[in-house]
Structure 1
Amino acid sequence: MTPILVERAQICDASWNEHICKSLQCVIYAQTFYLDIVCESWKALVWPSIEHPEIVMPLPMQRKMGFKVIYQPLFCQYLGLFSLKPLSAFELESFIRFLSWEFSYISAYHFNPENSVRMSEFASVKSDFQFFEKHTHWLQIRGDYAEMNADYSRDRKRNLQRGKALNWQIQASADIDPLITLFAENQTERIPGGVNPTAFIRLKALFNSLRARRQGEIYYALYNGQIHAGILVVEFAGRAIYLFNAADRQGRTGNARTLMLDQYFRNCNGKSLIFDFESPEVDSIAGFYKSFGSKPVLFYAISQNGLWFPFKQIQNWRKRFFRTIQGLF
């Protein structure tokens, strides 16, 4: 089988989005409106036809030094293959081999967790790519807050009580600007080279679009009327994603994010969801997410640098220098 490479302009939004919703790997990252906002541009691989696809694979793209580059955009944890039936090893290999033939440089591309079984088989035999194992953390929400709270670790329960004792005020909001300001003032200094301002522009556009679709919620923690922490949660097709968060020193030491997450989980009483914490590969952050009772979930990433000298060396250096950026969002 040979996948077909299609341009964004060739994709019918309604048909594509319907396919994503029906797919076994459904996630909001692959919806057209979402890709349009977070990607500089994007194409897709489809099979067997653009009119009646059974498998699709969105490909975020940008141009660097005149080369087409596949990359993983911010606010988009993973993509991969979206199929109506369980993927075969042959189908996955056909898509990845086409990717290798068509694009010399793949900065990073993350496959959804549902692709992991086939990816693990392929990683053991394929040498053209670098394969990386990554993990997020999923919390199963089954509609019973008391049952969920019972799975909190002892430390998380203790810190939740400490946070409550400070009398934080938790408020839902339709304004993302304070959250962006919190991040800019308290997290960007830890990012080498700072943050490209377009990242915040994309985030604001994304939230506005999510809010218009009733798919995004923001919570803030206030003390004496002042915002000290905030979180953005996205809900779509039975999954909630902890997309963005920030806190100043008072918010961090006062367990404000614990309180906001707990409030969100309380609000989920009666719902059945998978809550995806979008975990970076940082032990302390992963430990925080695990303390709510979440479990690590494997997904794979690939990269490939088939550029010639000196472009290969330049891109390898850039990748090492900016490696921390995605994990901090």
Structure 2
Amino acid sequence: MNNPEIRLIKNKYIDYQKWDQCIAGSSIPLIYAQSWYLDLICPGWDALISGDYAFVMPLVHKRKLGMSFLLQPIYAQQQGIFPETDHTIQNAFLTTVRNRFKYVSINLNASHCEPFPEGFIVHTKENYILDLSPSNTELRNNYSKHTRRQLKKAEDSKVFIVKGLQTSEYFDLKNSAANGKLHQRSMQTLNRVMEYGHSKGNGVIYAAYNEHNMLCAAAFFIFAGQRVTYLNAVSTVEGKNSNAMHKIVDQFIQEHSGSALTLDFEGSVIPGIARFYKGFGAQAEQYYSLQSNRLPIPLRWFKR
């Protein structure tokens, strides 16, 4: 395929209907690339677009000291080019990115593959996803022995799950668990996503309580098409000791087993968290993180 014409389009000129149709046509229509979600996590986002929205790539960038930075926004694990494409188009987009921005740090979606254009430092990361189409019995049979033991402990601790916790209660719990040491801007972004999810009916909080009816853990799940993302979670010391989060995830899996959904755990580089996801039978999905640093030498080392 010939190199495509790629244009940088400012947010106010993006046709949201065509954009969302393009994302929906992808084999992995991730929530992180849908226009309503981008508006919530990074208002004013721009895009690279090829043709009549044949291929698109969301851009979250800023200027500092007169130089352009392209960054991965919070609460968006993967982005990149949509829909899936060949190397010619993939690398034409990425070359455009590197030429336009002095500093680049982005995560691509799982449809991208090597080789990438020269000039990028490439890191491999793992996401964990679980197909919920099997029966609950089949899904539970794939739990690890460790996960089954943790669930038994949760049951022995009389942990029980309730859906529908209010967003304000969720943030009270996070604030308490973190001793008030939360990053306010990121919490404001998360609050926007959660409030939107509640208002539109595509977001839900599962809350865990101990035998004394005290809230000890909670998790927020958000749905987009046939994919549901385990976007955020919190546990108190009591919740960790009673394995309340294992109980929350198990409850979610029970309620959605036999469906067409895929549960996206988002992955982690922390071994204990990765083990938690894998313990429910989730499968690893590889994606790439790309960095390019063309800042002036005095700043280049500072940003490494």
Whether TM-score is above 0.5 comes out as: yes
- TM-score bucket (shorter structure): over 0.9
CA RMSD of aligned residues (A): 1.7
Q: Please tell me whether the aligned partners of residues 217 and 233 of structure 1 are also in contact (alpha carbons under 8 angstroms).
A: yes
187 and 93 in structure 1: CA distance in 2 versus 1, 3 angstrom threshold: same
Tell me the equivalent position of 2:287: 299
Which deviates more from structure 2 when the two are superposed, residues 247-256 or residues 35-44? 35-44
Secondary structure of the corresponding residue to residue 275 of structure 1: strand
State which of 19, 24, 28 in structure 2 corresponds to 1:25: 28
Tell me the equivalent position of 1:231: 219
State which of 123, 135, 138 in structure 2 corresponds to 1:147: 138
Cα separation, 2, equivalents of 1:215 and 1:174 = 14
Cα separation, 2, equivalents of 1:230 and 1:15 = 36
Cα separation, 2, equivalents of 1:46 and 1:78 = 18
Question: Equivalences for 1:247-286 in 2 at 5 Å?
Answer: 247-286=235-274
State which of 265, 278, 289 in structure 2 corresponds to 1:290: 278
Deviations 1:36-73 (A, max 9, x none): 1112542101111xxx2110000112233332211111
Structure 1: gaps (5+ residues): 317-329
Tell me the equivalent position of 1:70: 70
Which deviates more from structure 2 when the two are superposed, residues 159-168 or residues 173-182? 173-182
Cα separation, 2, equivalents of 1:188 and 1:281 = 24
Tell me the equivalent position of 1:110: 107
Offset of 1:211 from its aligned partner?
A: 2.0
Q: Please tell me whether the aligned partners of residues 129 and 263 of structure 2 are also in contact (alpha carbons under 8 angstroms).
A: yes
138 and 301 in structure 1: CA distance in 2 versus 1, 3 angstrom threshold: same
Give the AA of the match of 2:41.
V
Offset of 1:187 from its aligned partner?
A: 4.4
Give the AA of the match of 1:222.
Y
Moved over 6 A (4+): none
Which deviates more from structure 2 when the two are superposed, residues 64-73 or residues 142-151? 64-73
Tell me the equivalent position of 1:162: 153
Secondary structure of the corresponding residue to residue 17 of structure 2: helix
Tell me the equivalent position of 2:302: 314
Cα separation, 2, equivalents of 1:187 and 1:133 = 30
Tell me the equivalent position of 2:119: 128
Tell me the equivalent position of 1:325: none
Give the AA of the match of 2:90.
L
Q: Please tell me whether the aligned partners of residues 179 and 245 of structure 1 are also in contact (alpha carbons under 8 angstroms).
A: no
Cα separation, 2, equivalents of 1:19 and 1:180 = 34
- Verify: 1:2 aligned to 2:1, yes or no: no
Tell me the equivalent position of 1:323: none
| Total equivalences in the alignment | 300
Tell me the equivalent position of 1:203: 190
Cα separation, 1, equivalents of 2:162 and 2:98 = 48
Offset of 1:90 from its aligned partner?
A: 0.6
Q: Please tell me whether the aligned partners of residues 231 and 260 of structure 1 are also in contact (alpha carbons under 8 angstroms).
A: yes
Q: Please tell me whether the aligned partners of residues 42 and 60 of structure 1 are also in contact (alpha carbons under 8 angstroms).
A: yes
Deviations 1:93-113 (A, max 9, x none): 10011111111111x211111
Cα separation, 2, equivalents of 1:41 and 1:309 = 30
Tell me the equivalent position of 1:176: 167
Cα separation, 2, equivalents of 1:184 and 1:74 = 19
Cα separation, 2, equivalents of 1:72 and 1:182 = 27
Cα separation, 2, equivalents of 1:184 and 1:60 = 28
Cα separation, 1, equivalents of 2:118 and 2:115 = 12
Secondary structure of the corresponding residue to residue 277 of structure 2: helix
Cα separation, 1, equivalents of 2:195 and 2:179 = 22
Secondary structure of the corresponding residue to residue 222 of structure 2: strand
Secondary structure of the corresponding residue to residue 74 of structure 2: coil
TM-score in terms of structure 1 length: 0.87
Offset of 1:310 from its aligned partner?
A: 2.1
